Amino acid sequence: MSQYRVLFLCNANSARSLMAEALLNYIEGNRIVAFSAGVEPDRPHERTLEALHHLGIDTEGLASEPLERYAGQYFDAVIILCDKAKQHCRDWEGAAGEVVYWDIPDPRLSEDPNAYRKALREIRGRLQLWVDAKLRKLESE
């Protein structure tokens, strides 16, 4: 099986989509390669990096990217993590085998000191289920 390409999208590409990219590359980097982008990219949030480090995930080279960077590219799956990105994806000039929508609450908007770890836990749980189902399907083809 060749590498399966996944693009995660959210608004600022500073928390949720970066977490998903780093986590998926960490757990399935040999079979799945993940990228991320934002509608209005910012920079990786310090608490995003802390949450990833807490799980032992390397964040070297992790950067916020604009959605336009991936124009014209094909991804086997695009996973959208917020409403704003969902609205802007209609204008994205790329192609995807499937588009998945997960509405993960933005930890940047929360007063909870554990918001980033909670977001990462939710992403991890969804990713584990999605990856298990996806790999089973790909291996049976």
pLDDT digits (tens, 9 = 90+) for 14-49: 999 999 999 999 998 788 999 999 988 999 999 999
CA 101 – CA 106 distance, rounded (Å): 14
Are 22 and 57 in contact by the 8 Å Cβ rule? The answer is yes
Give the CATH number for residue 56.
3.40.50.2300
The angle formed by the CA atoms of residues 74, 79 and 80, to the nearest 5 degrees, is 115
Contact present, 9 and 19 (Cβ < 8 Å): no
pLDDT(138) > 80 = no
Taking only Cα atoms into account, the Rg of the chain, rounded to an integer number of angstroms, comes to 14
Residue 89 has pLDDT above 90, yes or no: no
Percent of the chain with pLDDT over 90: 69
Q: Quote the pLDDT of residue 16.
A: 95
Q: Where are the beta strands (DSSP E) in the chain?
A: 4-10, 32-38, 74-80, 95-101
CA dihedral 22, 27, 30, 31 (to 10 degrees): -100
When mean pLDDT is compared across 56-70, 86-100, 108-122, the lowest value belongs to 86-100
- pLDDT given for residue 136 in this prediction: 80
CB 80 within 8 A of CB 9: yes
pLDDT tens, position by position, 40-65: 899 999 999 999 999 999 999 999 99
Domain span at residue 48?
A: 4-140
Number of structural domains found in the chain: 1
Q: What is the pLDDT of residue 50?
A: 96
pLDDT greater than 60 at residue 135: yes
